Amino acid sequence: MGREVDLTKIVSNLSKLGVKATTTKSRLELLKAIAPPKQSPQTQN
């Protein structure tokens, strides 16, 4: 359950940076939002 707390902290930090992120997003999406895209993601729904 500690991961959920970490996720909430990450989401709050991202929101402070101006990045829209919600806990409902998958961790992969969060990682994509955090990490610089090596290639333009074409799979955005």
* pLDDT of the residue at 36: 64
* pLDDT of the residue at 24: 55
What's the pLDDT tens digit per position in 8-43? Answer: 787 777 777 766 555 555 666 767 776 666 655 555
Per the CB < 8 A criterion, the answer to whether 30 and 7 are in contact is yes
With 60 as the cut, is the pLDDT of residue 7 above it? yes
Instruction: Give me Rg for the CA atoms of the chain.
Output: 11
CA distance 45 to 40: 14
Considering the entire predicted model, what is its pTM? 0.31
